[in-house]
Structure 1
């Protein structure tokens, strides 16, 4: 059977004036409307489509791509609100419902909110929930130190940014470990710093300690190359504020990076700054 709310690769059963019917398994035929067919389709061709239910509960296929499929989180805009709930722009002609029971606060038109997309067991319709945290941390995370993950930033808290890790887990990016700009709604590549006993994951925006330093080494070398005299008036004796303003990093990381550059005989370190050899 097809997976509702997911992409499926299905076989063409027959063409009709208003589209094509696809084999949904168990004798079910699913309409792909003509407006989604860009090139001629022939019987027994296979095509990748997204499956959802229309307003009358019928299965429909589309070649359009929603902003999120079932099992994923996304920031979506509220297009309308009525007695059923809030309707979100989902990237498809049919809008995505957030029932009132799944709203943390009353949603209004124009709001952009983080939601989780899921298949309602009773109706078999795709709906969304703004109560996103209930869908996180329901499995045991098994990551190793420095493993690369995808993180959706959904809230700024007192100590940093809360993030959704790989559509499954709670993550945190701490303010005191961020040296670049980050904002709610960003989807970023992050790296596992630590998996806590409660299953929540501390994250870094650079590839663990070594990756962070390697990135900084590249940045320092690039800035030296761009300098007319191949010299930068910042050294390991400079203040943390001066280093942060120039390189978006801590003094500790800066000292490690220029130590690596010096060891590889790429720079000279002077009392006044660093110079490209």
Structure 2
């Protein structure tokens, strides 16, 4: 995916000046605090702070139009990172629990992503510093807003992976979160899905993630896992249980029958992973389960 600008210059022959336009306007009048620019029919204000040095009457300047903090149409000589009807990655700079999140688009006014376009769970919202893949649209009042990309839009620029990607480590950014897991766009522009059972933490929109490709689908999309392969993970989980036992004088009140929520809280692993790790240790004769307790076999504790 091309993350650079793909700006389309708008003709000055447009009948109405609107937010999102990039066009050449002429300086019609000067004031102490800025300049009035015109396309020959309408005027828009360019604050002195938004100009790149002094301007003279009659001078032609390229500007970007947006709504300022008082919701007035204004001009700036700064250019946006992502233009109207384009898509791109923008950094999260602030959030509002009642409105949504704000993105830096390279101009003085940050772009809003409305709360209705964000996950319902707040811990799945992006955080400042995260990057969000968005498109820029106008609302019914003509104001510019950002919206997370849709599956249709992502499919336009995503590329298909081949079998050589299996078991490789990739990095990507979450662009969609659903109940079953999260979708990422990798640095190579592959679409990758991580099921919640393959996560080591709950993922949020805009989060950067490093994971292993566990499966390459026929359509070129990928499945990923933040966990190691099972044979590796079994060993790591078993080692975690052994360390826990050693710190508790060789015994713990947790067994195969311990509820899944207790296992996840105490050991940060799923019930199935916990049972596999215990099974590995019992098969190796390193632990035993007695009267609702798991205990190190005597010579293991010495």
User: 1:161 is matched with which residue?
Assistant: 182
**Structure 1: 5+ residue stretches without partners:** 6-54, 56-80, 86-93, 117-128
**Is the 1:137–1:200 Cα contact (8 Å) retained in structure 2?**
no
**Is the 1:235–1:270 Cα contact (8 Å) retained in structure 2?**
no
**Is the 2:238–2:278 Cα contact (8 Å) retained in structure 1?**
yes
**TM-score, with normalisation over the residues of structure 2?**
0.49
User: 1:239 is matched with which residue?
Assistant: 259
**Is the 1:154–1:162 Cα contact (8 Å) retained in structure 2?**
yes
**Is the 1:235–1:273 Cα contact (8 Å) retained in structure 2?**
yes
2:86 to 79, 96, 102: 102
Question: 2-side partners of 1:191 and 1:266: how far apart?
Answer: 31
**Structure 2: 5+ residue stretches without partners:** 5-51, 53-62, 68-77, 89-101, 104-108, 113-129, 135-146
Is the alpha carbon distance of 1:197 and 1:208 closer, same or farther for their aligned partners in structure 2, counting shifts above 3 Å? same
* Residues matched between the structures, number: 178
CA RMSD of aligned residues (A): 3.7
Is the alpha carbon distance of 1:113 and 1:146 closer, same or farther for their aligned partners in structure 2, counting shifts above 3 Å? closer
User: 1:213 is matched with which residue?
Assistant: 234
Question: 1-side partners of 2:200 and 2:290: how far apart?
Answer: 25
**Is the 1:153–1:164 Cα contact (8 Å) retained in structure 2?**
yes
Is the alpha carbon distance of 1:149 and 1:101 closer, same or farther for their aligned partners in structure 2, counting shifts above 3 Å? same
User: 2:132 is matched with which residue?
Assistant: 114
2:247 pairs with 1:226:
yes
2:84 pairs with 1:83:
no
Is the alpha carbon distance of 1:275 and 1:188 closer, same or farther for their aligned partners in structure 2, counting shifts above 3 Å? farther
Question: 2-side partners of 1:207 and 1:181: how far apart?
Answer: 16
**Is the 2:172–2:184 Cα contact (8 Å) retained in structure 1?**
yes
Question: 2-side partners of 1:149 and 1:168: how far apart?
Answer: 11
User: 2:49 is matched with which residue?
Assistant: none
Shift of 1:206: 1.0
Larger Rg, first or second structure (1 or 2): 2
Is the alpha carbon distance of 1:178 and 1:243 closer, same or farther for their aligned partners in structure 2, counting shifts above 3 Å? same
User: 1:147 is matched with which residue?
Assistant: 168
**TM-score, with normalisation over the residues of structure 1?**
0.52
